[in-house]
Amino acid sequence: MVHEIESPAENAGSGDAQDRIVIAVVRTGGIAGLRRRWRAEPAPEQAPTWLELVERCPWDERLDPDARGADRYVWSIHVRVRDEQLEQVVPDTRLEGAWRELVDAVRDADARSDADADSGA
């Protein structure tokens, strides 16, 4: 597993960096073997909701890769909460429950931030 350190965005104030949550999801695999990346860095007032999503995931669970079928996706999930780094690699067949909710939330947040950037907000 590639260990990526997720840091707050450059525009995050130094005073609130300790309160920041940074979540990155990287999906690899599939037929073309393409790599997709999504990132969420919620505002401090959204932190409780995101912390709940993160804490519901079984970070210590050992998730063995699924050997059934070729070209399956693998999801690498990296979270930085305060000074703590959490990482997990989730096979596509195990992306369910809390893992699916976290990944979907990050993908949605990333899409919203792209739309905001495109609109000049």
pLDDT in tens, 104-113: 999 999 998 7
Residue bearing the bigger pLDDT, 34 or 103? 103
pLDDT in tens, 42-95: 999 999 999 999 999 999 998 876 656 667 889 999 999 988 999 999 999 899
Residue bearing the bigger pLDDT, 12 or 60? 60
Question: What confidence score (pLDDT) does residue 15 get?
Answer: 46
Residue bearing the bigger pLDDT, 23 or 83? 23
Is pLDDT of 114 > 90? no
* Choice among 7-11, 25-29, 76-80, 83-87 with the minimum mean pLDDT: 7-11
Question: What confidence score (pLDDT) does residue 108 get?
Answer: 97
What strands lie across the sheet with 21-29, from one edge to the other?
36-40, 21-29, 73-81, 84-91
Pair 53, 98: CB distance under 8 Å: yes
